[in-house]
Amino acid sequence: MYNTLEHQIHMARQMVTDHSRIVCLLGVGMRIESGIPNPEGNDIVYYMEEEYGYAPEEIFAASYFYTRPGSFYKAYKDVYLGRDYEPSAAYYRLADLEKQGKLSGCVTQAEYSLAKKAGVWNVVELHGSIYENWCPKCKRRYTKEYLRDQKGTPLCEECKMTIRPGIVLRGEQVRNDYITNAANMISNADMMMVLGTNMNDGLVVWAMNYFRGNCVLEISKNSHFSDNRASLAINAPVVEVLPQIT
């Protein structure tokens, strides 16, 4: 019985019941379940090489953006702004948990603001968001739609400066205040949920340095050698498990 999915879900539901300061780490599996391609998947790497002659990490890099903004924006609009993605049902369960006062917040490296879109209020987006762009000179904010609809390189209406996309580019640091917010949230948590990734993920390893509790629930479709570092690891899609335990 111990290893059946049914029993694991029963245990996970009990964990959620017993804790009230849950912090969720949202991994790449969460966004894949919302239909967003894996940024490190072979499909996207192959597509970028074919279409633009560079790998994603070469184009979506600070050095590329500052030296070739036109080419950068061509690829950025295509890959990041080409489609609107809607949060999977799992994100809405997180919003419900937060409303119930059980979820302290979420930490993610995804740039699509899916948790916020689903109504989660406290989300630390370590790698920024495609929705929050700004002029580097006058700091005026620009929407994703404004960037997408501008012909060529999107420029500030006032200063004609190239608008800065809201995501952290390769070679850039994560904002210090974001790191501090995430670390504070995690160190005050009494339970961690690792969703759509495994315990060996860089974000998760980092977060565990701050976590002082002992209850870690991992939900990830794929099993991984690090699963035994969680109190309980359920190898099933988050979108299927979360509604059953919250």
Smallest distance, Zn ion to C-beta of residue 230, A:
46
For residue 163, state whether it binds Zn ion (rule: CB under 5 A).
no
Smallest distance, Zn ion to C-beta of residue 32, A:
36
Binding to Zn ion in span 125-154, by CB under 5 A: 135, 137-138, 140
Applying CB under 5 A, among 106, 130, 156, 234 the residue interacting with Zn ion is: 156
Residue with structure tokens 């990490």? 57
For Zn ion, give the closer residue by CB, 5 or 159.
159
Smallest distance, Zn ion to C-beta of residue 160, A:
8
What is the C-alpha separation between 134 and 125, in angstroms, rounded?
16
Smallest distance, Zn ion to C-beta of residue 154, A:
11
Q: Which residues pair with 207 in a beta bridge?
A: none
Give CA angle at 14 (90, 126), nearest 5°: 40
For Zn ion, give the closer residue by CB, 95 or 156.
156
Smallest distance, Zn ion to C-beta of residue 178, A:
23
- Sequential DSSP letters for 191-203: EEEEESS-TTSHH
Applying CB under 5 A, among 159, 171, 180, 223 the residue interacting with Zn ion is: 159
122 Cβ neighbours under 8 A, 6+ residues apart: 98, 103, 104, 105, 106, 185
Query: For residue 138, which of 154, 165, 151, 157 has the smallest C-alpha distance?
Result: 157
Binding site for Zn ion (CB under 5 A): 135, 137-138, 140, 156, 158-159
